[in-house]
Amino acid sequence: MKNCLIIVDVQNDFLPGGALAVPNGDEVIPFINSIQNQYDLVVATQDWHPANHGSFAANHPDRKPGEIINLNGLQQILWPTHCVQNSLGAKFSEKLRMDIVQKVFVKGTDPGIDSYSGFYDNGKLQSTGLHNYLQSQDVGRVTVVGLAADYCVKFTAIDATELGYSVKVLKQGTRAVNLKPTDFEQSILEMKSVGIIVK
């Protein structure tokens, strides 16, 4: 069984200066670059939203980022407009090594539902194709790094566990949005509670 590194959303909008900057998000890049050669396979996920995405506060009159709404039956945190398809903000950081990334899986493309996990949208209605790809490559173990620990990294890791992979998250390779100051620690506890190794 192969070991795969999943690099989650290391995109300009999540880095310092971006529309939805993760504090110190850029610190993960040298670490992620340094470990890529240790895996049989490296893949990446990419937030890839249409401009009319329902998770953008700007698309809801009188709403602000951070507010929670009901979006087609699911609780949705409203975010600043970010990672719009084909924008500079949606591009991977130029500092991120991409030469051995075998495949990129886009997510968040349906305006009616958000997608934190690299495997499915938040309602698990549609798959990104990542699971099928990993199965076709005989992957049994995954390591998840990238942005952000309390959203897309956490949900990618939890879905991977539910799909039967052995999962590890490397703290050095991720940072949190921390809407609440304890969100990073809370995410780690949540991941550990379902059997994910966090180190």
Catalytic positions are: 9, 107, 152
Contact call for residues 71 and 114 (beta carbons, < 8 A): yes
Query: Measuring CA to CA, which residue among 4, 82, 87 is closest to residue 40?
Result: 4
| Helix locations, the chain, DSSP H | 28-35, 130-136, 154-162, 183-193
How many other C-beta atoms can be found within 10 angstroms of the C-beta atom of residue 95? 12
Give 100: exposed, middle or buried? Use CB within 10 Å, 0-12, 13-18, 19+: exposed
Structure tokens at 83: 């990672």
Residues 84, 52: Cα–Cα separation, whole Å: 9
Residues 142, 5: Cα–Cα separation, whole Å: 6
Contact call for residues 66 and 60 (beta carbons, < 8 A): no
Residues 98, 56: Cα–Cα separation, whole Å: 28
Residues 77, 193: Cα–Cα separation, whole Å: 24
